[in-house]
Amino acid sequence: MVITPRVTDAALILGVGAWWHDWRRTDFDALAGAVAAGHIIECGPQATGGNYSQIREVTDRRYPGSPIAELAHDGSFVITKHDGTGGLVSPGTITAQLLYEVDSPVYLNPDVVAHFDTLQLTQQGPNRVRVTGATGSPPPSTLKVAMNYLGGYRNTMTLVLTGLEIEEKARWATDQLFEILGGRDSFDDVDIQLLRYDRADPARLSEATAHLRVTVKDRERAKVDRAFSNAVLELAVAGYAGFHTTTTPPSSASEFGVYWPAIIPAAEIEQLVLHADGSREAIAHCPQTDDRYCGVIRGDEQASRAVDFGPTTRRPLGSVVAARSGDKGGKANVGVWTDSPERWDWLRTHLTVDRFAEMVSDAAGFEIRRYEFPNLRALNFVIAGFLGDGVASCTRPDPQAKGLGEFLRAAHTEVPDKFVAEP
C-alpha cells in the first residue's frame, strides 16, 4: 500500500505499471502508455459511457461499470469493464476521455511526456478497446505546482424576470440593488449575468422568464453576507413588474478559493519515500529531461485550403461531431471529433479559431488555442482564462465547463448535406 500526498491522476496507474513490469526510468514509450491509461480511467465511468455525447450509442443505460485497464509490458493496454454492468466501451468513449481536460497532444507528466497524437484505438471485442502506439519522451526539467488560497467571500442571488422589456427590467433591478448597497465600487468584484430563457409569444409561464444572476465578492464578509441577500428582497414590492421570487433563498456569504498554478525547477523538490520500518529513501528525478515543453505549447497551423464538400445546410454541429469539455484551473477545453476521414477533412478545415469564437460567443476576448489530434480525427480548443481563477472562484453557471461541449454541438453551422443521413 502506498500513501501519497497530491500527485498526478495518471500516477496511480503509472506507479503500479512501473512496479509490476519493472520499467526503467527511461522506458519512455511504456511509461507514456501507462500515462494514457491512467488519464482514460482516472474519472471512472466517464470512460465507459458516462457524460458521453453520442447518447444513442449507449444502449445499456444502467449505471456504467467502472473501467479496467489491462496494461501490457510494452505500454499498450486494453480498456474494458466488468460483464453485466451498464454503459459502453468504444473508440468513441475512449476518445472522449483522452480529450478530457487536456491542452495539446503533448501531455506533460513528471516522469514522461506522453504524445497522445501517436495513440491508435482498435475495437478488440464487445466493450474492449485496445490502445497501442504510445510514444514517450523525457519530461521537462520543471514541475507544475498548484496552490490554493482564500480569495475572500461571495454571495449570489438570482432574480426571476418575466414578460416584456426583460433587459430594461434587469437594468432597473441592478440600479436599484446597488443604490441600496452603496454602489458597485463598494465591492471587490461584481458579476452580473442575464440568462435568457424567454421567447416571443410564450405558450406557458416558463417560456416568458429570464434570470438575473448577481454575484458579489469581497474580502470583508459583512459586505456580502445577509446585507446583500436581504437587499435583493427589498426589491420585491418596489421594483420591476412581475417580481415574484428568487431561485436562491436569502443566504449567508461563503468563502471561495483561488487556484494559482506555477512552474518550478524539479531540482527544488526532494522526493522521499518513508518505509514501514521508518527508514527514508530519496528518489532521484528522471535522469533525462527535455525543455522544449516548459512553456505554453503553441496551437497548430489552421488549414487554409478551400475544399468543396458539396451543398450544405445550416445544422447543429453535433449532427456530425461528438464533443467532451472540461476545466483545467482557469482554462476550459472543448474536444471535438468525428468518425470518418472525409468528415475529419471537413472538420479540420471548417472549425477554425475564428469560427469557434463565432459559435461560442462567450469565448470572445479570451485567448483560444487550437490543437489537432489527427489519429483521433479530433480538434481540441483551449480557452485561457475562461473560468477565471478556477472552479471555486468562477461565477459562471457552469464553473467547470462541463456543458460547453454540448453547447458547441447545439450551435448551428453550414454542414455538408452528404454527411447527414436521411431519417
Give yes or no: residues 171 and 132 share one domain: no
Residue with cell 519515500: 273
Q: In this predicted model, what pLDDT tens digit does every residue of 217-271 receive, in sequence order? A: 999 999 999 999 999 989 988 999 998 767 767 888 999 999 999 999 999 999 9
Q: How far from chain centre, in Å, is Cα 289?
A: 29
**Based on the structure, what is the number of domains in the chain?**
3
Does 77 reside within a domain?
yes
For 349-385, the DSSP string reads HH--HHHHHHHSGGGTTSEEEEEEEGGGTEEEEEEET
Does 75 reside within a domain?
yes
Specify whether the CB–CB gap between 329 and 314 falls below 8 A.
no
Provide the angle, in degrees to the nearest 10, between the axes of the packed helices 226-233 and 166-181.
Answer: 130
Does 241 reside within a domain?
yes
Give yes or no: residues 15 and 130 share one domain: yes
Q: Name the 3-class secondary structure at 2.
A: coil
CA 213-235-212 angle, 5° bins: 15
CA 55-329-294 angle, 5° bins: 110
Give yes or no: residues 41 and 134 share one domain: yes
What residues does 108 pair with on adjacent strands? 113
Distance between CA 84 and CA 103 in Å, rounded? 35
Residue with cell 448577481: 214
Strands 189-196 and 209-218: antiparallel
Does 299 reside within a domain?
no
Q: At residue 307, what is the residue type?
A: V
Domain that holds residue 389: 312-419
Give yes or no: residues 112 and 159 share one domain: no
Q: Name the 3-class secondary structure at 157.
A: strand
Helix H or strand E encompassing 337: strand 331-337
- For the chain, how long is the longest CA-to-CA vector? 75
CATH code, domain carrying 202: 3.30.70
Give yes or no: residues 154 and 233 share one domain: yes
Give yes or no: residues 131 and 185 share one domain: no
Distance between CA 120 and CA 420 in Å, rounded? 26
Give yes or no: residues 350 and 399 share one domain: yes
Provide the angle, in degrees to the nearest 10, between the axes of the packed helices 91-98 and 28-41.
Answer: 100
Specify whether the CB–CB gap between 244 and 205 falls below 8 A.
no
Give yes or no: residues 166 and 112 share one domain: no
Which residues of the chain have a pLDDT value below 50?
Answer: 423
